[in-house]
Structures are given as C-alpha cells and as structure tokens.
Amino acid sequence: GAVVSQHPSRVICKSGTSVKIECRSLDFQATTMFWYRQFPKQSLMLMATSNEGSKATYEQGVEKDKFLINHASLTLSTLTVTSAHPEDSSFYICSARDRGQGITSEAFFGQGTRLTVV
Amino acid sequence: DAKTTQPPSMDCAEGRAANLPCNHSTISGNEYVYWYRQIHSQGPQYIIHGLKNNETNEMASLIITEDRKSSTLILPHATLRDTAVYYCIVRSYHSNYQLIWGAGTKLIIKP
C-alpha cells in the first residue's frame, strides 16, 4: 500500500518552545491530509483538515493559532505546535489519501509523533 | 456519518479465527464500512472496506449483513501480531474523507 512518512517519531521539547511535525506522502500525491491527536487510552480525535494550497480547516475547539498547519505541496503537510505546554503532550498522527484513487479509497496513516513537553 | 458500536475488548486463541462485530444501525445508503487497526504506539493501518457485498483481501474478510446494520471483520488465522485495537468506521463519500473514530475493540490474541 501507499506510504505516509511522519517525522519525527518522538520529540521532547521545553515548555514555551515550538515543534514542527512533518507528514509526507512518499509515493502518491495528496490534495488533502488530516491531522489527529490521540491521548493515552483514547481514540483518535481529528484536529484539522489540511488542503494543499489553501487554509486548513480546524475542528471545533482546536486553536488555529496554536496548531499551525501548512500544506505547501501535494506531498507535504506540516503541523507546528507553537508555545507548547505540558498539556499538549500527546500522540499526533497524520493521514492522507491518494488523489489518484477513487473517492471511497482508504486513507493511509503516518507512524505518529510522540510529543512530550517538559 | 453514522455511529458505530463495538465491544470494548475480545480475546482469541492464536491460530483461530477472530470475529469482530460492529453495529451501525443508522448507516445510510451511501456510507461505506471501513476497518482499521492500531497496534500500540503506531499509526492506524487500513484493513478492508465495503459497501454492500462481502469483501476479502489478504488480511481479512468483511461480512456485511443484508440490511447493512451490522458487519463482522474476520481474521482467519489470528497471530500474536494481530493484537491491536480494531476500529469500525462508517463514512460517506460526501464527508470530505474524514474518519470519525469510536473507541474500537481491543483484540488480544493469546498463545
């Protein structure tokens, strides 16, 4: 299947600093990518939908100024957690669909990024 | 998108078939059933999806009832590596491809 690469897989940062997470579709183009957050023992929660060449669409309750999303190309989306605080510590996951496939085709997921803010 | 209901956990013996049920009684005609799994501390992995007909691939089989109100994911010969949380999701192709995740079923394969 198609591959989505997420980097870094783990990051520890100090409170108040910013962290950038990259999500790349390696062998397909993705017009739309999705960013999720997952707290321990909980399910995935959609944070935002990233659209190539336009602004991201954020879910209710997600601060757009804190979680900056950039989708500058058809193979790369980035999520920047700005002024991180310990409560932002979580598992962040991206996903993407191959725009060359049908509208009901499956989404592919990155391996996730474990963010720890100390 | 329709809501799904899954048992919180299940056990299965290694080598046996694992049958994971999912109820989606409010599913509408244009909604597909998708199954993903998530092994601990990894991103979700796609397994299979279907609309009306039963589907089979190299990983699993998906059985959808005639009224489409429930489905069963079948792992024919479970191995220890199949231990994971399995998510059943229904999605309309009108929903901008978003997946709404429930709590899933924690499947534990026992030796």
CA distance B30 to B90: 10
Q: How far is CA B109 from CA A42, B5, B75, B82, in A?
A: 21, 21, 11, 7
In this predicted structure, the answer to whether residue B58 has a pLDDT above a threshold of 60 is yes
Q: How far is B35 from chain A (nearest CA, A)?
A: 10
Q: What is the DSSP string of B21-46?
A: EEE-TT--TTEEEEEEEE-TTS--EE
| pLDDT for residue B55 is more than 70 | yes
pLDDT for A31: 84
Q: Which of B98, B103, B104 sits opposite A46 (nearest CB)?
A: B98
How far, in Å, CA of B29 to CA of A91, rounded? Answer: 34
Phi, psi of A58 (to 5 degrees): -100, 145
According to DSSP, the residues that pair with B14 across neighbouring strands are none
Q: Where are the beta strands (DSSP E) in A1-118?
A: 4-7, 10-13, 19-25, 32-38, 45-51, 57-58, 67-73, 76-81, 90-96, 108-109, 113-117
pLDDT exceeds cutoff 80 at B92:
no
Structure tokens at B56: 């089979």
pLDDT at A45: 92
Question: Which residues in chain A are contacts of B6 at CB distance < 8 A?
Answer: none
Q: Which residues of B touch A104 (CB under 8 A)?
A: 32, 49, 51, 93
CA proximity to B33, closest of B7, B57, B69: B69
A to B CB pairs, distance under 8 Å: 56
Mutate one of A21, A43, A51 to test the B interface: name it (highest B CB count within 10 A).
A43
Closest CA to A50 of A28, A26, A27, A80: A80
Q: Is the pLDDT of residue B91 over 90?
A: no
Strands A57-58 and A19-25: unpaired
Show the CA angle centred on residue A78, arms to residues A75 and A83, nearest 5°: 175
Closest approach of B17 to chain A, Cα-based (Å): 24
pLDDT at position B1: 61
Residue type, A57: T
In percent, the amount of chain B with pLDDT more than 70 equals 92
Return the pLDDT at A1: 65
Interface contact flag, B98 A114, Cβ < 8 Å: no
Interface touch B45/A109, C-beta < 8 Å: yes
Q: Residue B105 — pLDDT band, cuts 50, 70, 90?
A: very high
Considering only CB atoms, A43 lies closest to which of B43, B93, B104, namely B104
Q: What is the predicted pLDDT for the residue at B3?
A: 86
pLDDT value, residue A97 = 83
How far is CA B18 from its chain centroid?
11
| 118 residues of chain A, pLDDT tens digit each | 679 999 999 999 999 999 999 999 998 988 889 999 999 989 999 999 988 888 899 999 999 999 999 988 899 999 999 999 999 999 999 999 887 777 667 889 999 999 999 9
Segment B4-12 shows an average pLDDT of 96
* B86, closest residue in chain A (CA to CA): A43
